[in-house]
Chains A and B, each alone.
Chain A
Amino acid sequence: MASEQVNLTISLTGYYYNHWPNLKILHNNVAVFDQPIVDNQLLSIDLTCDKTNELKFIHYGKSFGENGVWDSSPDASEQCFINIDDILFNKVSIGETLKSKLMFDTAWSDLQLEQNTQEFINTYGKIQCYGMMNFNGSIVIDFDTPVYNWLIFSKFKVPMTNTAYFSNYSARWHYEEDLKVIDEIKELIHFDKNCSN
C-alpha cells in the first residue's frame, strides 16, 4: 500500500494547576508524542501515513478528587487543561469548519462516575469541544491520504444547491457530471495510448 509522508504541526496551550497537563498523541495506535504541555507549544511530527489513518489526542493524569487531589480551583476558575489551538497537515490548517467538528470523548474515572449524576455523565460524555480538553479523555481525527484531498473535501465540499449555474459555488467538488461527459467524449474519440503520463 502506498504511504505518504505527512508533517503534522500542532499548536497547543497548556494551562497549569498543580501540574502541567499531560498529552499523548497516537497515530494509528502508535504513540508519537507523550509529554506535559507547558504554556504555548508548537509540535512538529513527521508521520508515515496509510490510506486511512487515526490520530488520537489523549489528555490524561488530571485528578478529580482522587486521593483528595483536585487539579482545579474550588470555583473551577483555574484548571489544568489543554487547548488544541490548531492542527496543520503539511502546513495547512484544518480550519474553523473541521475544528468545530472536533468531539471530545470523556474518559470518566470511577470516582467521577460515582460523584456525578447520570444526566451530567450523559451530557459531558461526548461533547463538541473546539479543541478544548478539560476532562481526561480523547479527541480522534480520522483522516485519509492524499492528505490535501482529504482536507479539501472535509473543509469545503458542501451539498449542491439549486442556484445560478454560472455562480453556483456549491457545485465545486461535485465532479460527477464532468466525469460523465469526459467518459462520453472518450467513448466518441479513442485516443492513442502514447499519452503524456
Chain B
Amino acid sequence: MTKTVVISIPRLEPHRPPPGPAIIAKICEQQGHTVTAYDLNIKFFNYCKKQNFDYHGFDQVWNRFADFDAQQYKVLEKFLDVWCKRISSENYDYIMIGIFGISGSVFAQEFLTRLRPITQAKIIVGGMGAGVAGLTDPEDCFGYRLKNEGLIDTYVVGEGEGSIVRVLNNETGPGINNTEVAQIDDLDSLPQPDYKFFNLEEYDYLFPNEKEVFITGSRGCVRKCTYCDIERYWPKFRYRSGQNIADEIIDNYERFGITRFYFTDSLVNGSFKAFNDMCEKLSRYKFDHPLSWSGQFIFRDKKSIPKNHFELMKAAGADILFVGIETGSDRVRFDMGKKFTNEDIDFQFEECSKYGIHVIPLMFTGYITETIEDHRENLQAFQRWQRYVADGTIVGVELGTSLIILPGAPVERMIDSHGLTFVVDDNMEPDLKLWWSEANPTLTIKERIRRKLEVHETAIKYAWPVWRQASRLRELKELILKHDLHQKETQKFYKLIPTENQTKIATFSKLGEL
C-alpha cells in the first residue's frame, strides 16, 4: 500500500490545526494510501516552548527581514535533523508539504535541503506559498525555484484537491508545475478537512479548553476590490451551500467537541443566501455548549440588509467580524470598489453593538486616489466610531500598510492609466510599495509615510485597540533605510513597460528609466 505523509510547516498561527493538509490527507486516504500527517508548525512551537526558546522570535526571519542568529539556527537545525531523520526512516512513497504563504519559504528551503538527500520519496509541495511570485515574472514562483534546485519533484499551485489526484496518477495540467489556475466549481462535492489526522490537544488555543479550527465556506471573492489580488489565485467566486457549511461545523462539534470556528473566506457573507442559510441552520441546532465563529465580513448598503439579520447572526454564533472598511473617506472607498458609505458603517456598527457582535475594522492609508481632504476624512473616522470602541464592539483595528501594487490585483491594471512609476532595488526589481502616481502627484512616498503615521497617532489619540502594528512600523522603518528614503530628497522612479495585453495578470516585465 502507498505510504504518504502530509506535512505543514511554519509559519502558521499555533492556535488551530492546518485545514489544507487535513483535506489533502483525507484525499490521499480516499485514494487508498496509508496516511500520516505531521504539523511541524505546532511541533516546532511546542519544541521551542520546551527548550524555553522564543518561537515568535523567528517571525522576523520568516518575514525575511532578518537572518537567523546563531542560537536560532542551532535550535532550528536540531529540530530539523530529528524530523528529517524520522520522516526518512518511515519510508514514505510520497511526502507532501503545505507551504501556507511566503512566510513559509525560509523554513521550506532549510527543511528540503536536509530532507531531499536522505529520502527516496517523491516530494510534492503545495499551498499559497508554492505559487508566490513577483510582479515581473509570474512563472518564477517559489515552487518553480525549488524544483529547479532539485529539492522537490512537483509543485502544485492553486486548489490542490483535484491537482493532487492528477499528480498521483502521473498526469499534468493547470496548477501542476505551472502557475495556471484550475478552479473547482462544486465545493460541496469536496471532502471536508478531517482533523483526526492531528492531535488536537497539542494546539495553543486562544481560549483555554475551547478547541478551534478553520473552516472554508467559499473561495475567491464576490467583490473586485482594486487593491486585492485574490482573483489572481481564484478568478471565480465559488461557495458552499449554507447547509453544507453548517454540516461541517456540526460534525466537528459532534466528533471532536470543537466549539470555535474561524472562517478562511475572503468574505464569510460573500454569498448572502448561503450565509443566511448557514445562520438559520446553526441557530436552530441545539448545541450543549455555546458555539462561536469569526471571519472576514463585508458591510453592505444598509438598504439591502434584512431586518433582524444581525440578530440571526448572533443566534448562529457570530463572534468577531473582520470588516474591510478601509478608510473614513466614502470617495476613496468607492474608488476601491467598495460600495458602502460611512452611514452604512454607522448602521452596521450599531447593529453589531445591539447584538453583542464584535468587529475588527481593517484599514489602510495612501490609496492611489487619496487626496489630503480624503485623508482628513479618514482621520475623523476614529472620533466618529470611538463610541463603538468604548462599548466593546470594536475589539481591534488593523491599520495595515500603505497600498501595495500587487500583481494580479485590479490596481495593477491601472498602472498606465494612473501613470504609476516605481523605485527599484539593486536588481532592478520594482518595490511594489514604493510607487508614485502622475495622476495624484502630491501623494508622494514621503507623504504616504506621513499620513500613515498620522493615522496611527490619531487611532492612539482616540484609544483605538491598535495591536500588532509595531511590527508594521518597523517594516516601514526598514523600508526607509533600505531605500535611503530619509537621505534622498527625490527618488529615481522607473516605469514598468507593458509587454502584451494589459488585461492579463502581471504583464509588466520590462523596466525603463523615466
How many B residues face the partner with a CB closer than 8 A? 45
Q: For chain B residues 274-316, which have a beta carbon within 8 Å of chain A? A: none
When distances are taken between beta carbons in the complex, the residues of chain B under 8 Å from A122 are none
Give B396's nearest chain A residue, CB to CB: A172
Find B375's partner among A165, A191, A196 (CB 8 Å cutoff): A196
Question: What 1/0 flags go to B50-87 for Cβ under 8 Å of A?
Answer: 00000010010000000000000000000000000000
| Contact (A152, B389) CB under 8 Å given A169-B467, A172-B467, A196-B375 | yes
When distances are taken between beta carbons in the complex, the residues of chain A under 8 Å from B14 are 164
When distances are taken between beta carbons in the complex, the residues of chain A under 8 Å from B457 are 182
When distances are taken between beta carbons in the complex, the residues of chain B under 8 Å from A155 are 390, 392
**CB atoms of A195 and B387 under 8 A apart:** no
**CB atoms of A186 and B453 under 8 A apart:** yes
Find A164's partner among B13, B395, B481, B486 (CB 8 Å cutoff): B13
**CB atoms of B15 and A179 under 8 A apart:** no
**CB atoms of B473 and A152 under 8 A apart:** no
| Contact (A188, B463) CB under 8 Å given A165-B59, A167-B15, A172-B396 | no
| Contact (A196, B454) CB under 8 Å given A188-B480, A189-B486 | yes
- CB of A185 closer than 8 Å to a CB of B: yes
Question: What 1/0 flags go to A170-185 for Cβ under 8 Å of B?
Answer: 0111110111011011
User: What is the CA–CA distance of A19 and B379 in the complex, to the nearest angstrom?
Assistant: 53
**CB atoms of A178 and B469 under 8 A apart:** yes
- CB of B428 closer than 8 Å to a CB of A: no
- CB of B429 closer than 8 Å to a CB of A: no
**CB atoms of A164 and B470 under 8 A apart:** no
- CB of B206 closer than 8 Å to a CB of A: yes
When distances are taken between beta carbons in the complex, the residues of chain A under 8 Å from B392 are 95, 155-156
Main secondary structure of the interface of B (DSSP, over half): helix
**CB atoms of B389 and A164 under 8 A apart:** no
**CB atoms of B463 and A152 under 8 A apart:** yes
| Contact (A149, B450) CB under 8 Å given A156-B392, A165-B56, A188-B477 | no
- CB of B112 closer than 8 Å to a CB of A: no
**CB atoms of B468 and A166 under 8 A apart:** yes
- CB of B102 closer than 8 Å to a CB of A: no
Q: For chain B residues 365-406, which have a beta carbon within 8 Å of chain A? A: 372, 375-376, 379, 386-387, 389-392, 395-396
- CB of A168 closer than 8 Å to a CB of B: yes
User: What is the CA–CA distance of A95 and B453 in the complex, to the nearest angstrom?
Assistant: 32
When distances are taken between beta carbons in the complex, the residues of chain B under 8 Å from A153 are 463
From B206, B390, B451, B463, residue with most partner A Cβ within 10 Å:
B390
- CB of B204 closer than 8 Å to a CB of A: yes
User: What is the CA–CA distance of A174 and B395 in the complex, to the nearest angstrom?
Assistant: 14
When distances are taken between beta carbons in the complex, the residues of chain A under 8 Å from B460 are 175, 178-179
Residues of A within 8 A of B (CB): 90-93, 95, 148-149, 151-153, 155-156, 163-169, 171-175, 177-179, 181-182, 184-186, 188-189, 191, 195-197
The contact sample of 21 A-B pairs, CB cut-off 8 A, is A90-B390, A95-B392, A152-B390, A155-B390, A165-B56, A165-B468, A166-B13, A167-B15, A168-B467, A172-B395, A172-B396, A177-B470, A178-B466, A178-B470, A181-B473, A184-B477, A185-B453, A188-B477, A189-B480, A189-B485, A197-B454
- With A95-B392, A185-B480, A189-B450 already in contact, 14 other A-B pairs whose C-beta atoms are closer than 8 Å: A90-B390, A93-B391, A149-B462, A164-B56, A164-B204, A168-B467, A169-B467, A171-B468, A172-B395, A182-B456, A185-B449, A189-B449, A196-B379, A196-B451
